[in-house]
């Protein structure tokens, strides 16, 4: 279940409400009635001459929680301690949760009930299980038999709404294969190693002698890694049979 207050080290979305020379007063958009402050020393690395070059009223930013005061529902925040990767992931997570809340409104309308009732009856439990509501919608799309022990009417509607609005998640992994032979027919031998390896999930492309690129697209990292290993082992096995040097590098 979503916590009532963030913890030290959490990443949060903060909306600037008042920006002054020494820092910015903010509210946390993901939490109810939680205020925060970003001191000018935590705005950017190095000396900040004008805080408004980095932060303006109404702007939403990703911050790291430095400390919390539960009695005041107040947090100290840092803007400079969030890297670009963390920023992108947090914004994506936030947008997904906003989308999930909109989808829950659709579910509620089709069940002829309120969003609050949906949260009490099943949505809060889904958040407990999946950490986010969007995670539950994603799993409803990807699973052939989602929550097999649940037979309540809301389940069918939830799955229907999920499949109408969310595309199955995909991951892409891959690496480089070094393949070469010094024999006169070496090019043909190398080509025989990668022949018919590509399929719906796997793509092998020539990058320039002696490198081939192999990419795998699948629903999750575990299954993608299994497919990648199977295909690489197949290529290396063929290479040994025809006297081709083969070396794989994960990238």
Distance of alpha carbon 19 from alpha carbon 173, whole angstroms:
43
Confidence of residue 4 (pLDDT cuts 50, 70, 90): confident
pLDDT at 215 over 90: yes
β-sheet with 171-180: strand ranges across: 202-208, 211-218, 171-180, 245-250
pLDDT at 62 over 90: yes
Please report, for residues 145, 167, 172, 191, the alpha-carbon distance to residue 107 in angstroms, rounded to integers and kept in the order given. 19, 17, 31, 52
For the chain, the residue count is: 251
What is the pLDDT averaged over residues 146-165? 95
Domains of the chain (ranges; CATH) run 11-82 (2.40.50.140), 85-165 (1.10.150.190), 171-250 (3.30.70.1130)
- The alpha carbon torsion through 79, 83, 84, 89 (nearest 10 deg) reads -90
pLDDT at 29 over 80: yes
- Give the pLDDT confidence of 109-136 residue by residue, as tens digits: 999 999 999 999 999 999 999 989 999 9
Mean confidence (pLDDT) of the chain: 93
Distance of alpha carbon 34 from alpha carbon 75, whole angstroms:
8
Angle subtended at Cα 174 by Cα 173 and Cα 177, rounded to the nearest 5 degrees: 175
Q: What is the pLDDT of residue 142?
A: 82
pLDDT at 1 over 50: no
The alpha carbon of 208 is separated from its chain's Cα centroid by a whole number of angstroms, namely: 32
By mean pLDDT, which of 49-58, 102-111, 217-226 is the weakest?
217-226
What is the pLDDT averaged over residues 24-36? 96
- Asked whether 181 and 189 are in contact (CB, 8 A), the reply is yes
Confidence of residue 47 (pLDDT cuts 50, 70, 90): very high
Task: Give phi and psi for 125, each to the nearest 5.
Answer: -65, -35
- Give the pLDDT confidence of 193-204 residue by residue, as tens digits: 999 999 988 999
Q: What would the DSSP string read from start to end of 173-239? A: EEEEEEEE--STTHHHHHHHHHTT---SSEEEEEEETTEEEEEEEESSHHHHHHHHHHHHHHHHHHH
pLDDT at 25 over 60: yes
What is the pLDDT averaged over residues 85-95? 91
pLDDT at 167 over 90: no
**0.75 cut: is pTM over it?**
no
Task: Give phi and psi for 210, each to the nearest 5.
Answer: -105, 30
What is the pLDDT averaged over residues 63-92? 95
């Amino acid at each position: 279940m979503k916590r009532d207050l963030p913890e030290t080290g959490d990443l949060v979305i903060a909306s600037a409400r008042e920006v002054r020379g020494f820092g910015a007063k903010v509210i946390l958009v993901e939490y109810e009635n939680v205020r925060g402050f970003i001191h000018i020393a935590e705005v950017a690395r190095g000396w900040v001459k004008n805080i408004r070059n980095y932060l303006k009223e109404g702007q939403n930013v990703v911050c790291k929680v430095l400390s919390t005061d539960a009695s005041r529902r107040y947090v100290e925040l840092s803007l400079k301690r969030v890297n670009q990767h963390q920023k992108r992931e947090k914004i994506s997570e936030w947008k997904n949760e906003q989308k999930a809340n909109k989808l829950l409104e659709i579910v509620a309308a089709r069940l002829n009930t309120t969003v609050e009732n949906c949260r009490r009856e099943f949505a809060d439990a889904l958040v407990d299980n999946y950490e986010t509501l969007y995670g539950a919608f994603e799993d409803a799309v990807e699973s052939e038999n989602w929550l097999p022990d649940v037979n309540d009417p809301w389940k069918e509607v939830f799955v229907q709404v999920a499949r109408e609005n969310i595309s199955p998640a995909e991951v892409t992994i891959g690496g480089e294969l070094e393949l070469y032979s010094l024999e006169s027919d070496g090019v043909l031998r190398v080509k025989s190693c990668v022949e018919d390896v590509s399929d719906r999930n796997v793509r092998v492309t020539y990058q320039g002698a002696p490198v081939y690129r192999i990419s795998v697209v699948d629903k999750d990292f575990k299954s993608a890694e299994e497919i990648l290993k199977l295909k690489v082992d197949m290529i290396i096995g063929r290479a040994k049979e025809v006297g081709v040097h083969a070396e794989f590098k994960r990238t």
